[in-house]
Chains A and B, each alone.
Chain A
Amino acid sequence: MPTDTLNSTEASAMPDRGMPDRGLRSNGMRDLGPADMARFRQIERTFLEASAAAGYREVRTPTIEPLHLYTAAGTLSPQALDRVYSFLDWDGWSGERVVLRPDATVAVARWYGEQGGQQGAASEARVSYVQPVYRFAAEGNREVWQCGVELFGVSAPTADTELLLLAKDTLGAIGITDVTCDLAHAGLVRAAFAAAGLNATEQFEAYDRMLDGDASVTADLVATHPQGAAALRVLSEVDGTSVGYVANLRAAMLPVMPEAAGALDELEAAARALEVAGVPFRLRAGTARSFEYYSGLTFRFSAAGRDCVSGGRYDGLAETIGGVAAPGCGWAADILGLAAILGDGVLG
């Protein structure tokens, strides 16, 4: 899962944004000394034990993947693709570019799709991983070590709830207990676009604008769909903090955007699960994440003012990249970010 907004806190020394002349270490890369590695392994071990106890088995995918795995619509956004490390391999005369794995979920979905292809049908699979992803960042780390889980073959809301609680329990086992969670749902945004009369291409464009942080999208939607103004404003301008907000959304949206019903059900189920688990949450129903593959619930846990786990549902992904059609969802955490939240100075 992506951790694009997680703080990859431990910024490397970056004295020079111009020529790559920084001594012996590449820009955006960092060393981990013995104390750092001890902390890293401790977090990794705790994560693997917690996920294994929940039935998740570890996998590892290659560092180098074909670029085309990530270029189809519904995988990475053009903005994310601008930041991948792509290059021609030694046998790249065929014009096929490769990338340093920019995102673990797509790679694991490819692995799952290939397994499913061999078995001839989508099957239930719980997998975990610990591996780095590589993305250009003007400042901060360009190599981010992620630990994450993916759950294939189980639909919402059952799988969403399982993952939310696993995230909370894993963070607790690591020692991060004072967490909050932001929830959103890609289906609500898409229902709003459809209700505003945007065709498929226009929906993509509007979504791209949202991914770019263009706040004028809502105003444009209101202008083209005035009867949905109240619903759009409740959706985009109010952050809910209780299940009651979902009821309000339902009342405002369903008369004008009936196709949002399923997404609202899933959002409510997730909110109720967090309420029962005692995790404070915010419902930011209209926010978008900069990954196109999200199809349903998206969530982000934070602690001590820093993001620590993020994830969501991506039901179309495995099929988009050429595998079997299967529901999927998952989350990931930046291991160094988790260490920084623990705040003991190691890896800080």
Chain B
Amino acid sequence: MAANEPRAVRVALPRGDLRTPVADRLRAASFIVEGYGEGSRSYRFEVNDIPGVQVRVFSDEDIPIQVALGHYDFGIASRMWIDELLVRFPNDSIVPLRRLDIEGDTLVAAGAPGSTLEGLASAGVMRVATEYPNIAQHYLTRLRVPDYRLYEVWAQAEAWPPEDAELAICTASAARKEGLAVLDEVHRGGVWLIANREALATRDLSAALGPLVSLPGSSEWGGIVEPDRLDVRRAAPRAVEERTAFRIAVPDGHAQRHTVTALAQAGIAFEGYEEGRADRHPVSSDPEVIVKVMRPQDMPRAVALGHFDLAMTGRDWLRAFTASFPAAPVVELCDLKRSKYRMGGVITEDLEVETIEEAIAIWRKDDPERPIRVASEYASLADEYARSRHLGKYRVIPISGASEGFVPEDAEILIEGTETGSTLRANRLRMIDVIMESTNCVIGAVERPSGRRGELRDQFVERLAAAAETAEQVTG
């Protein structure tokens, strides 16, 4: 780009469920992003007949921070992710322009049927699971819950109550699907068009702003709902009874197929947990064994908290967790030797260097003080990587998906996993630095439980380890 050529107007659009309704409305407003809304795996688009406007697709929750940082001039995102950023980091860099006529979900406080907020808060420390820790903290502070513990989970907060948390702050639809009772409204959603304040103040963005402000809007405001405060005093700690049941957590999502196979090869089956089916509470033929399906990312925490005796997750998630909390009492018990991939530092293919040090030297050639941006879904690993490689001044950009699109425009380094490298190559990226090799594994508490739970743990680990060893020998 020539020095005097104006910077393109940059627009961040959401992927996922919002993609289709947003694309429909953009098309109606003559802001036609060819390919967006049709399930394209591309991250970057041009806009038909509007030169100088670039579109980039992000996960919904990443859009507010990209606009706040000024990397993007406009964004369309769920209000709950906008407020999740602003309630913790109030700044005036985001201008909410208007609410669009796209329905968004509502955040609620949900608990076991029959429970009440007052009852839960007055019975001792309240354990709260949520994917929205900032909104949750704001809510609990104003509710005046005397003492609470906030479990910041990756997903499926609604899966935690009632046995692993008293409350979930999650979407209303997820709470209802899980069979939880909605106890209070926390945030009214909606989808908003937002802009970067400085960009609006200093640059001509009218080519994009004109059509974007003509998107059909909604007169409802939405946002954080201030709760009626409880009149509850601090209670004595909840009585904790030692768990007698043996609890095991198994994953859904991408990791499910490998886990079902690993269990089957060890001669273990849970009814309701098969390929293509994952009930929340699968049933073991052994009545002493209680099984629960949850996200693998959240298993290290759940085990450290003592909620499970065993969990089947990935070594990457265990490493990401212990990078944040090295004293957490959770360890790998056996390697299942499946789902192998490498995790490491990824840079653009266009940079002809052999080491990360050479890459840093190029990035800082003209500006030695330039911060290096490290994007990753594994924020704690990215931070650890930046420290261990002595990046000097750096910024970790936590992201929640669409990661291959960040480098090189929005980050210099991506901390990412890859099985074959094909996805990286397709996006003109390459791994320059390997941090770890990951497989799925079984994790448990550092301290072996006593009694029957300890015996069952030994049996499960022995069978799974033996089956993994055999399977590896067979497949070579």
Which A residues are closer than 8 A to B by beta carbons?
17-19, 21, 68, 71-73, 78, 81-82, 86, 88, 90-97, 200-201, 204-205, 320-322
Determine the distance from Cα of A68 to Cα of B124 in the docked complex, in whole angstroms.
12
Contact of B328 among A19, A73, A93 (CB under 8 A): A93
Please, which residues of chain A bring their CB within 8 A of the CB of B214?
Answer: none
- Contact between B147 and A71 (Cβ–Cβ < 8 Å)? yes
Complex CA–CA separation, A320 to B304 (angstroms): 30
Residues of B within 8 A of A321 (CB): 234
Cβ of A95 and Cβ of B149 under 8 Å apart? Answer: yes
- B229 and A205: CB pair below 8 A? yes
* Interchain residue pairs with CB less than 8 A apart (24): A68-B147, A68-B148, A71-B145, A72-B234, A73-B146, A73-B229, A73-B231, A78-B142, A81-B141, A88-B324, A88-B325, A90-B324, A90-B327, A91-B327, A92-B324, A93-B301, A95-B152, A96-B149, A200-B231, A201-B228, A201-B231, A204-B231, A205-B228, A321-B234
Inter-chain CA distance A322–B234, complex, in Å, is 7
A residues within 8 A CB of B234? Answer: 72, 320-322
A94 and B148 CA atoms in complex are apart in Å by: 11
Verify A320–B233 contact, CB threshold 8 A.
yes
4 closest A-B pairs (Cβ-Cβ)? A95-B149, A72-B146, A93-B325, A93-B328
Task: Verify A93–B149 contact, CB threshold 8 A.
Answer: no
Q: Given the known A-B contacts A68-B146, A72-B147, are A82 and B141 also in contact in the complex, defined by CB atoms under 8 Å? A: yes
CB distance from A342 to the nearest CB of B (A): 35
Chain B residues positioned under 8 Å from A17 (CB to CB): 91-92
Contact across chains for B231 and A95 when beta carbons are under 8 A apart: no
B273 at interface, CB cutoff 8 A: no
For A92, the chain B residues whose CB sits under 8 A away are: 324-325
| A94 partner, pick from B140, B145, B233, B305, beta carbons under 8 A | B305
Q: Which residues of A contact B228 (CB under 8 A)?
A: 201, 205
Please list the residues of chain B having a beta carbon within 8 angstroms of any beta carbon in chain A.
69-70, 91-93, 125, 127-128, 137-138, 140-142, 144-152, 198, 228-229, 231-234, 300-301, 304-305, 321, 324-328, 371
- Is the Cβ of A93 less than 8 Å from the Cβ of B146? no
A92 vs B322: C-alpha distance in the bound complex, in angstroms? 11
Given known contacts A95-B127, A201-B228, A78 and B148 CB-to-CB distance under 8 angstroms: no
Complex: A88 Cα to B324 Cα, angstroms:
9
Task: Point out the residues of chain A lying under 8 angstroms from B151, CB to CB.
Answer: 95
CA distance A18 to B69 in the complex (A): 8
- Chain A residues, Cβ within 8 Å of B125: 68
A236: min CB distance to chain B, Å: 23
Of the residues B69, B144, B152, contact of A73 by C-beta under 8 Å: B144
Tell me, rounded to whole Å, the shortest Cβ–Cβ distance linking B323 to chain A.
Answer: 10
Q: Which residues of A contact B233 (CB under 8 A)?
A: 72-73, 320
Residues of A within 8 A of B141 (CB): 71, 78, 81-82
Question: What's the least CB distance linking A79 to chain B, in Å?
Answer: 10
Expressed in whole angstroms, the Cα–Cα distance for A274 and B259 within the complex equals 76
Given contacts A19-B69, A90-B327, A322-B234, A95 and B150 within 8 Å (CB-CB): yes
User: Residues of A contacting B304 with CB < 8 Å?
Assistant: 93-94
Q: Which residues of B contact A204 (CB under 8 A)?
A: 144, 229, 231
Report B69 CB to chain A, min CB distance, Å.
Answer: 7
Which residues on the B side are within 8 Å of A21 (C-beta)?
A: 371
State the Cβ distance, A98 to closest chain B Cβ, in Å: 12
Instruction: Give min CB distance, A311 to chain B, whole Å.
Output: 24
- Not counting A21-B371, A81-B141, a sample of 15 additional A-B residue pairs whose C-beta atoms are within 8 angstroms of each other reads A17-B92, A18-B91, A18-B93, A71-B144, A72-B144, A72-B147, A78-B141, A88-B325, A92-B325, A93-B321, A97-B137, A97-B150, A201-B228, A201-B229, A204-B231
Residues of A within 8 A of B321 (CB): 93
Q: In the docked arrangement, what's the CA distance between A173 and B146, Å?
A: 41
In Å, the complex CA distance between A320 and B144 comes to 13
Q: Are B147 and A93 in contact (CB under 8 A)?
A: no
- A71-B146 contact, Cβ under 8 Å, with A82-B138, A88-B324, A320-B234: yes
How far apart are the CA atoms of A267 and B134 in the complex, in Å?
41
A200 to B228, CA, bound (A): 11
Assembly CA distance A68 to B328 (angstroms): 20
Q: Within 8 Å CB of B142, what residues of A?
A: 78
User: B138: nearest residue on chain A (CB-CB)?
Assistant: A82
A5 to chain B, nearest CB (A): 20
Per the bound structure, the CA–CA distance linking A73 and B147 in Å amounts to 10
Report A86 CB to chain B, min CB distance, Å: 8
Q: Report the separation of the CA atoms of residues A90 and B326 in the bound assembly, to the nearest whole angstrom.
A: 7
Q: Which residues of the partner chain A approach B327 to less than 8 Å between Cβ atoms? A: 90-91
Question: B148 to A71, Cβ gap below 8 A?
Answer: yes
Please state if A93 and B305 are interface contacts (CB–CB under 8 Å): yes
- Given the complex of chains A and B, what is the CA–CA distance between A272 and B233 in angstroms? 36
Residue of A nearest to B150 (CB): A95
CB distance from B392 to the nearest CB of A (A): 11
The chain A residue sitting closest to B145, CB to CB, is A71
Residues of A contacting B128 with CB < 8 Å? 95
B372 CB to nearest chain A CB (Å): 13
A319 to B227, CA, bound (A): 25
**How long is the Cα–Cα vector from A90 to B27 in the complex, in angstroms?**
48
Please measure, in the bound complex, the distance between the C-alpha atom of A68 and the C-alpha atom of B126, giving whole angstroms.
11
What CA separation (Å) do A94 and B70 show in the bound complex? 35
Complex-state Cα separation, A201 to B141, whole angstroms: 15
| Residue of B with least CB distance to A20 | B395
* Contact between chains at A94 and B69 (CB < 8 Å): no
A72 to B126, alpha carbons, bound, how many Å? 12
- In angstroms, Cα B91 to Cα A68, docked, is 26
CA distance A97 to B148 in the complex (A): 9
Query: Which residues of A are found within 8 Å of B149, using beta-carbon distances?
Result: 94-96
Nearest CB to that of B329 among chain A residues?
A93
Measured between alpha carbons, how far is A322 from B326 in the docked complex, in Å? 30
B326 neighbours in A (Cβ, 8 Å): 90
Complex: how many Å from CA A73 to CA B152? Answer: 24
Residues of B within 8 A of A19 (CB): 69
Chain B residue at smallest Cβ distance from A68: B147
Residues of A within 8 A of B137 (CB): 86, 97
CA of A81 to CA of B91, assembled, Å? 17
Contact A91 B325 (CB under 8 A): yes
A204 to chain B, nearest CB (A): 5
Query: Which residues of B sit under 8 angstroms from A320, Cβ to Cβ?
Result: 233-234
A295 CB → nearest B CB, Å = 15
- Chain A residues lying within 8 Å of B140, measured Cβ to Cβ, are 71
User: Please, how many angstroms separate the alpha-carbon atoms of A201 and B227 in the complex?
Assistant: 11
Most buried by B among A86, A92, A200: A92
Query: Considering only CB atoms, which chain A residue lies closest to B129 in the complex?
Result: A95
Q: How far is the CA of A19 from the CA of B93 in the complex (A)?
A: 10
B325 partner, pick from A18, A73, A90, beta carbons under 8 A: A90
Closest chain-B Cβ to A340's Cβ sits at a distance in Å of 28
| Residues on the A chain within 8 Å of B152, using CB | 88, 95
Report the nearest A residue to B147, measured CB to CB. Answer: A68
Residues of B within 8 A of A73 (CB): 144, 146, 229, 231-233
CA A320 – CA B146 in complex, angstroms?
Answer: 9
